[in-house]
Structure 1
C-alpha cells in the first residue's frame, strides 16, 4: 500500500472541498480548507518525501496556471486531472505531468464514449493515461458518477467493465463519492469490491481520516490498492499528522 498525495485546486488556490458540493454556483461549495501556500509548495514537499504518483485535480475552470505550477515544481512526479481532453492532454504532459486523468471526457451523457477513449489513447498512449472511476452506490451496485458527480452513468464498476478499461490505461483513480471530503471513514464495501477486481495500480480516495482507517484499508485490500488522503491531513487543515501517514505507509520524512 502506497500513500498517493493530492493537490486539489479550486479558483486557482489549493483547497480541500466536499466534492459533491461543487457546482457552477460557487456559493454552494463547502470548503474544508484554503491554503496560504501555492501549489508548488506542496509539489516540492511531495518530491522531497519521495512520493510519486500523486494527483493534481483542477476543480472547475481557472486552475490551469496553478496546475502547471505544481507540475513544473515536481516534473514527472504528478498526475493531473479535471477537464482533460484529447485536445489539451499533451499540454499538461509537456508541463511535467507523468500521466493525465480523465473522467467526463470519456463518459458523455451518462454513457461511456469509446470514440473519445480511443481518441485520447491515440494522443497520450495507454501508459500515460489514468481513468477516474468516481463511484456511487445505486441499487446495491457501483456506478460511475459524472457531471461533477451529479449524474449516475449506466457504467457499472464490475469485473467485465474493469477488464475492458484496463486495456486502455495504466492506472485507475477511484473516488468514493458518498464520503469524499467528509472525513467519515473509508467506504469499506467499495474498498473490498475494488480489491477483489482490479489488476492494475489503483488509488482509492474518500473519507480516510485516521491511522486506524489506514490499517483497516490495508487489511481489507491486502495492500493491493493505494490510498490518498486530503482534508484529514494536518497539511490541509485536518488533525491527522502527515508524518504519521508516511510512517504508516512505509515512508520516513527526510
Structure 2
C-alpha cells in the first residue's frame, strides 16, 4: 500500500471538487478548494518527494495547458486522464505521461465496448494504459461503473469477471468511489475489500478519505495491496491531513 498524489484540473486551475457535481453547463459544481498555485508547483513537489504513479485529471475541457505543464514538470512521474482517446493518447505520453487513464472513451451505448478497447490497443501497449472504473453503488448493492463526469451509469457492474476481462488491456485500475468523492465522509470499506480480493492488477482507491484511521482501514481491508489517493482532506488542498506525514514510510508499506 502506498500513497498516490493527485492534481485535479478545472478551467486550467488546480481544484478539489465534490464528486458527481460537475456538469456540462457548469451548474451545480461544488468546489472544496481552489489553489493559488499552478499544476507545475504540485508536480515538482511530487517529484521532489519521489512520489510516482500519481494522477492528473482534466475535469472537462479547457485544461490541456495546465495538464501539459504538469507532465513537463515531472516527466514519467504522473498519469493523465480526462478525455483520453486513441487520437490524443500518444501525444500525452510523448509529453511525459507515464500512462494515460481512460474511462468515457471505452463506453459505447452504455457499456464497455470491445471495439473501442481494440482501438486503444492499436495505439497503446497495456503498460501505457490505466482503466478508470469509478463507480457508484446502486440501491440493490451493486457497484456500477459511471462515466461522463460521473453523471451517467453504464450497464457494467464491477465484478471479478469484469476486472479479469479488462486486465489484459491495462496495467492498473483507478477506482473512485464516486458517492464518497470530495465529501470526506469515510471510505467505502466494502469496495476496498472487493478490489483486494478480486483484482488481478494493482488498484488505486480514491474517495472519502478524511482521517489516518481511514487509511488504516484501507490497509486492513485491502490486505496492504490497495494504493490510495487523498484529495480534499489533504493539507496541500486546504484539508487537515498532513501531506508530509503521508509521504512517510508509515503510510507506504
Superposition TM-score, scaled by structure 1 size: 0.97
Q: Is the 8 A contact 2:78 2:97 kept in 1?
A: yes
Shift of 1:147: 2.0
For 1:211 and 1:33, locate their aligned partners in 2 and report how far apart those are by CA, in whole Å.
20
Contact 1:80 1:100 (8 Å CA) reproduced = yes
Per-residue displacement from partner, 1:136-177 (whole Å, max 9, x unpaired)?
112211110112212211111111111000011000000001
Is the Cα contact below 8 Å between 1:110 and 1:146 reproduced in 2? no
Quick check: 2:180–2:207 contact (8 Å CA) kept in 1?
Answer: yes
TM-score, scaled relative to structure 2:
0.97
Write the deviation string for residues 110-132 of structure 1: whole angstroms up to 9, x where unpaired.
11111111111210111100000
**Secondary structure class of the residue paired with 2:197:** helix
Instruction: Quote how far apart the aligned CAs of 1:250 are.
Output: 3.6
Pick closer, same or farther for the CA change 1:27–1:154 going to 2, 3 Å. closer
Gaps of 5+ in 2: none
1:109 matched residue in structure 2:
109
CA offset digits 1:70-99 (Å, max 9, x no partner): 000000000000000000001100110010
Cα distance per residue 1:198-242 (max 9 Å; x no partner): 121110010011111111110111111100001100000101111
1:93 paired residue number = 93
Which blocks of at least 5 consecutive residues in structure 1 are unaligned?
none
Question: 1:36-72: CA deviations, max 9, x gaps?
Answer: 0000000000001010000000000000010000000
- In the alignment, what sits opposite 1:62? 62
Aligned residues: 251
Match of 2:202 in 1: 201
Find the aligned partners of 2:238 and 2:33 in 1 and give their Cα distance. 6
Residue 251 of structure 2 aligns with which residue? 249
Asked if structure 1 preserves the Cα contact closer than 8 Å seen for 2:60 and 2:149, the reply is: no
Q: 1:28 is paired with a residue of what secondary structure?
A: coil
The alignment yields a C-alpha RMSD, in angstroms, of 1.0
8 Å contact kept, 2:5–2:54: yes
SS in 1 for 2:105: coil
Matches within 5 A, 1:24-63: 24-63=24-63
Per the alignment, in what secondary structure is the counterpart of residue 178 of structure 1? coil
Of 242-251 and 198-207, deviating more is 242-251
3-state DSSP of counterpart to 2:169: coil
Q: Which runs of 4+ in 1 moved over 3 A?
A: none
Q: Answer whether contact 1:186 1:207 (CA < 8 A) is retained.
A: yes
CA distance in 2, matches of 1:27, 1:112: 28
Question: Counterparts of 2:184 and 2:108 in 1: how far apart (Å)?
Answer: 30
Q: Secondary structure of 1:21's partner?
A: coil
**In the aligned structure 2, how far is the partner of 1:65 from the partner of 1:2?**
29
